[in-house]
A = this chain, B = another copy of it.
Amino acid sequence: MSQSLKLLLTPYRGSRDFYPNDFRFREYMFDKIRNTVKQFGYEEYDAPLIEPVELYLAKSGEEIVSDQTYSFVDRGGRQVAIRPEMTPSVSRMVAAKRQQLVYPLRWFSIPNLWRYERPQRGRFREHWQLNVDLFGIDNLNAEIEIISVADGVIRAFGADQSMYEIRINHRELLNQTLLKYLGLNLEQSFKISHLIDKKAKLGITDFVRQVDLILNSKQKVHSVTEKLIAVLDAKTINDLPDELKSTQSVKELSQLFNSLNQIGINNISFDMSVVRGFDYYTGIVFEIFDLNTENNRSMMGGGRYDGLVGLFGVPPLPTVGFGLGDATLANFIELHGLKPDFKNITDVYVAVIGGNLIAAYQLAKSLRDYNLNVEVDLSGNKLSHQLKTASKKGLRFVVIVGEKETASKIFTFRDLLLSKEYSYSLKQITENLLNQNG
């Protein structure tokens, strides 16, 4: 058995161990995220890790449920899945209390999600995803706010507008382009939407070939493909053909761009190739791209999905939302040099001479009453060894407790960084440590 256990030192493929150093970075990200979205009035919720598999079959797009979901039969014979995304769960929760809740709801969560896929840089089988949703607003103000929140989250890490770009599209405009402007049928339109979603990965040559294959010979294949490429290449809504420019969708996009500019969000662009993988989006969709050439890809995305809550047999509810994964955010922060140095959060180490542990515990307790973080040396080793431990742990301050100190209530306070030593009362120790934190 010990032989086979040796194999198990690594985490399960595609998942990560978070040692305290790694955890500190994750917690730094989540704390900043929480603080930012709460400033916009959003409240945190959570849903179960496991849901019946039907919840995902309903709307997620089939690829995810069939190939990528961790699904299994529980001991009671129920087919269940570990959540691959949060949107179906939160829609269920809102539907369950559709009548009692006060709208609009501003909700967020940072769940861990599981997908069975080949691990690669920034893609894990287990990852955490910020989900921010605004339920109950059927006008453009919802999109303006949700994009402001997404933008605010990135800026909270010290990013400036040169580092990322918000690319915006409208699902209705895409539908009109494919069905009316290009005259495709529903099936072709659906297939080409999915191709557009993968366009950057495919490359232009492959994209053209695959589009050609979907069109049938009666259609003037080349001219349709060319018209599609031209629309996809539009850099602004003004580059669109007149037939599309006059649509309600383009009017909404125009209004959204103006409003975002007015509130200081200028790193935005129109991008017809932004589709978003999930089939449930119904209106404006957006993605935020990292402009770093080493990581040139979508960091997060979202949009309007007005249909999900209504699937649960309650009146429908207009909704906009977005998601942001922990691994892509971590990449962004690291590549742009925005990751701070993390210090050990322990404020002081208590070294103990002559086995005076009870006195050491009492001193530690007094310091903790001031909300200071205190580690006591429990080893019984000699002082030089204890100081070495404090130093290896990256700690700067040590208080030494022995018989003399316990009697006099005056302690040796050592600053390992400056190699200085002081004789301090409890009050002086506390004040010095609290000053360090302030």
Partner-B contacts on A (CB < 8 A): 1-6, 8-13, 15-20, 23-24, 26-27, 35, 38-41, 43-52, 54-55, 58, 70, 72-76, 80, 82, 92-93, 95-97, 102-104, 106-107, 112, 114, 116, 126, 137, 139, 141-142, 144-145, 148, 152, 259, 262-264, 311-313, 344-346, 357-358, 361-362, 365, 368, 371-376, 378-380, 389, 392-393
Q: Roughly how many angstroms separate A50 CA and B116 CA in the complex, as a whole number?
A: 12
Q: How many copies does the complex hold?
A: 2
How near does chain B come to A372, taking the closest CB pair, in angstroms?
A: 7
Contact A361 B148 (CB under 8 A): yes
Contact B44 A392 (CB under 8 A): no
Contact A41 B74 (CB under 8 A): no
Contact B374 A41 (CB under 8 A): yes
Q: A17-B46, A20-B107 are in contact. List 4 more A-B contacts (CB 8 A).
A: A50-B126, A102-B389, A104-B379, A262-B358
A and B contact pairs by CB, cutoff 8 A, 8 listed? A5-B313, A11-B51, A16-B48, A17-B45, A17-B46, A17-B96, A41-B376, A152-B368
Chain B residue numbers with a CB within 8 Å of A16 are 48
Chain B residue numbers with a CB within 8 Å of A54 are 4-5, 8
User: Which of B73, B80, B116 touches A74 (beta carbons < 8 Å)?
Assistant: B116
Q: Roughly how many angstroms separate A343 CA and B279 CA in the complex, as a whole number?
A: 37
Q: Roughly how many angstroms separate A35 CA and B126 CA in the complex, as a whole number?
A: 27
Chain B residue numbers with a CB within 8 Å of A137 are 378-379
Interchain residue pairs A-B with the least CB separation, the first 3: A41-B375, A15-B48, A72-B72
Q: Roughly how many angstroms separate A110 CA and B128 CA in the complex, as a whole number?
A: 15
Chain B residue numbers with a CB within 8 Å of A380 are 139, 141
Contact A263 B15 (CB under 8 A): no
Contact A392 B102 (CB under 8 A): yes
Chain B residue numbers with a CB within 8 Å of A378 are 104, 137, 139, 141-142, 145
